[in-house]
Amino acid sequence: MEKRKNLPARLGACLLALLLLAPAASADEVYPKTLTTQEYQTLNLFLSNFTEVGVGEISPFSPDQVLVDFAHDHLWCNRHDDFEFGEYFDGYNCRVADTDIQSVIDDYFYDAPQVDLRQTRLTYRDGYYYHQETGGWSSGGFALSASACGLGDGRWLVSFLVFGAGEFWDNSELDLSLAEAIDKYGDPCSQGAAVIYATDLADRSTYKMVSYTLV
């Protein structure tokens, strides 16, 4: 019960912090948005690319290692066939080429920087990222948006709840209402807020992340 009592205050603090970090907007530009079904599902899908990898805070200004590791983990969650399995040096048994790391960053972040591909928590050698795969990876869960507020110039301040960490889920969960998700998964495992750039909330191709924070 304590978790649910603290939720509005924690989300409010997170939203306020991100709003202060966002470029200033005039009062007539800031407005709440009632999401359509398509906008709700698309926003949830975009946010879930961040929640599933378990990143706590990220933006285009994050250190290169944070961005590179996000892109690597995104590939692991969504393009598993890109990874090669075998017997490599130092006991590593899994690797992926660095070929698409920059393109993932470019796809997901507003004004994405050019990163140093060598900056990573993983072992990097000759254009590959190596790790020892034991089957111990688990999803950080999926996001369901709780609110969206227009800030002008294509920017949106959104709050979200995270469900299903460590559990199996698929994209069909992204159209659940918050009440349905709580009924199925219990209390949210975390919550957060983000500033997103999108010219059309129903069109994933227009989305870019400006700032993302879990609380």
117-176 pLDDT, tens per residue?
A: 999 999 999 999 999 998 777 789 999 999 999 999 999 999 999 999 988 899 999 999
DSSP letters, 16-61, are HHHHHHSPP--TTT-EE----HHHHHHHHHHHHHHHTTT--EE-TT
Q: What is the pLDDT of residues 75-125, one digit of tens each?
A: 999 999 999 999 999 999 999 999 999 999 999 999 999 999 999 999 999
Q: Are 112 and 106 in contact (CB under 8 A)?
A: yes
Q: What is the model's pTM?
A: 0.86
CA-nearest of 145, 138, 196 to 169 is: 138
Q: What is the pLDDT of residue 6?
A: 52
Give residue for tokens 């199925």.
Answer: 184
**Burial of 87 (C-beta count, 10 Å sphere; 0-12/13-18/19+):** exposed
